[in-house]
Structure 1
Amino acid sequence: MRYTSLVICISMCLTTPLAVSTAQADVGVSAPAPSDAEILLDGSREMLDQKWTYWKGPRFGSSLPIKWKVVEDPIDKGTVIQSDDPAAAGGKFGAADIVTKQKFGDFRLHVEFLVMKPGGNSGVYLQNRYEIQILDGDKTKHGMGAVINKTESPYHAYNGTGKWNAYDVTFRAARFKDGKLVEKPLVTVYFNGKKVHENVTIEKVWGGANSGLDGGNDNGFGITDRPGGIKLQCEGHDVRFRNVWIKPLDLKTADTNFQE
């Protein structure tokens, strides 16, 4: 009996921490990309130029090559991408936003970002349409971690300025039949490993034509049936990005909820 109890104890002590670690490894800061995912941003100039370009919307004001900078990671080893492009000075969104050359429908996305100063502003755009906000200090529906103007900011999950943060997203694109919208897009979001939004229905593209695809169509409600890239917004603030990866999906049912 003593031997059996000892074996059980050793087994529990060895396996329990490993199980917890494994469950948490797929979301949050430094989450590794699955083997079947594509790395979109690794902090190098080579990958930035290879996989990204500027979004040339109505307000576009920069020029290739991308003016975003490759800088040393202020926390960990390696380099990261800094969003400070002179064309966007003064908060001129749409002037120097970058977008992936590849376009996507449904997907699982991981993005890590670091806001260097209070009030730092950027955003992660799904299909270059729907924004998951990055805005330090704002706890409203227009604030940090919000599905823009749709959900309240899950500010409690934010690590703060000068620290790395992570969004983990599963997104299902809008569905169309005979050219008409029949199912609206859905999104589930983890923020620093905490589930903060589950199966949120996205109604429209906010911000007008300068914001992203279809923003100028019917006040943002005129969503079209075309894929879009992942976009990172530049508003003249020092926000840094690293470890961005994506896994294309094909979600047959209207459900983006996922467990990690």
Structure 2
Amino acid sequence: MKKILVLLFSLVSILANAQIGVGAKAPKKAKILFDGTHKMLHEKWQYWNGPRLKASMPIKWEIQNDPVDAGTVVNTNDPAAAGGLYGAADIVTKEEFGDFRLHVEFFIKEKGGNSGVYLQNRYEIQVLDGDTTSHGMAAVINESPSPYYAYNGIGKWNAYDIMFRAAKFKDGKLVEKPMVTMYFNGKKVHKNQKISQVWGGPNSGQDGGNDGGKGITDRPGGLKLQAEGHNVYYRNIWIVPMDIKKADTDF
């Protein structure tokens, strides 16, 4: 009981100190995944070695000046992914995670700009200008409606703040589906949204080729960012690894 109370106190402390929205600062316990530098890009990330991989190390995503604020950002427009060839040049963190609290900021330069944020290199939170469907902007892809109303639009920074609880297994069998709560630009848009499978097939992410995406395994996974041949930028990415005992990700 004492250990559980300590974990709960730690969770409350992390959430109390973590900001949300564009420009949110990482709490002390966070791991910084991208700070705008070449050094961190190459230290923390690698190309995802999926079946459609066409890129080769080192990572070809360019570090560019922030189009709005001071500092630098990374552009997803890898030549290997031209024409929307998803899975050809996606990047994933070298470190893999189970449960976590995540912050990601993105900027779409042109109409129809497309990318994606993959939790555990499995479950996509869509980044797609102009799409208001369940396959569209900020949707837990194919699992929830798009909260398009919260989108800041082209030429502005946007932020996802996510609490994610991984699928839980007992004796090798899935007993609880993965779950996510998310704020989009400071507005809560998903609350305890369960995720049924990996969508998009084997080219999309880990376990995508297992039983049509329904064969989720208990392996942790990295944070993946998708290259779709568009000028979509990322900055200020941090994560807090967690151990969420209860099936509740609300924050």
TM-score by length of 1: 0.90
1:139 aligns with 2:140: no
Alignment partners' CA distance in 1, 2:101 and 2:36: 20
1:41 maps to which residue? 34
1:122 maps to which residue? 115
1:60 aligns with 2:50: no
Q: Which amino acid aligns with 2:118?
A: Y
Question: 1:169-208 residue pairs with structure 2 within 5 A?
Answer: 169-208=162-201
Q: Deviations over 1:45-66 (max 9, x none)?
A: 0000000000010000001000
1:156 maps to which residue? 149
Alignment partners' CA distance in 2, 1:202 and 1:240: 26
Contact 1:24 1:193 in 2 (8 A): no
2:3 maps to which residue? none
Deviation, 1:99, is 0.2
Alignment partners' CA distance in 2, 1:164 and 1:25: 19
1:19 maps to which residue? none
Q: Deviations over 1:138-182 (max 9, x none)?
A: 000000000000111000000001100000000000001111100
Q: Deviations over 1:31-82 (max 9, x none)?
A: 0000110100011000000000000100000010000000000000011000
1:107 aligns with 2:84: no
> How many residue pairs align between the two structures?
237
Alignment partners' CA distance in 2, 1:241 and 1:230: 13
Alignment partners' CA distance in 1, 2:173 and 2:86: 30
Unaligned segments of structure 1, at least 5 residues: 1-22
Deviation, 1:102, is 0.2
With over 3 angstroms needed to count, the CA separation of the structure-2 counterparts of 1:223 and 1:64, relative to structure 1, is: same
Alignment partners' CA distance in 2, 1:42 and 1:240: 13
Larger radius of gyration: 1
Deviation, 1:24, is 10
Three-state SS of the structure 2 residue aligned to 1:253 is coil
Deviation, 1:25, is 7.0
Alignment partners' CA distance in 2, 1:96 and 1:56: 9
1:165 aligns with 2:193: no
Alignment partners' CA distance in 2, 1:98 and 1:243: 16
Q: Which amino acid aligns with 2:187?
A: K
Deviation, 1:208, is 0.1
Deviation, 1:126, is 0.2
Alignment partners' CA distance in 2, 1:56 and 1:36: 29
Q: Which amino acid aligns with 1:71?
A: Q
Deviation, 1:204, is 0.2
With over 3 angstroms needed to count, the CA separation of the structure-2 counterparts of 1:137 and 1:107, relative to structure 1, is: same
2:229 maps to which residue? 236
1:79 aligns with 2:68: no
Runs of 4+ in 1 over 4 A off after TM superposition: none
Three-state SS of the structure 2 residue aligned to 1:62 is coil
Alignment partners' CA distance in 1, 2:118 and 2:55: 19
TM-score by length of 2: 0.93
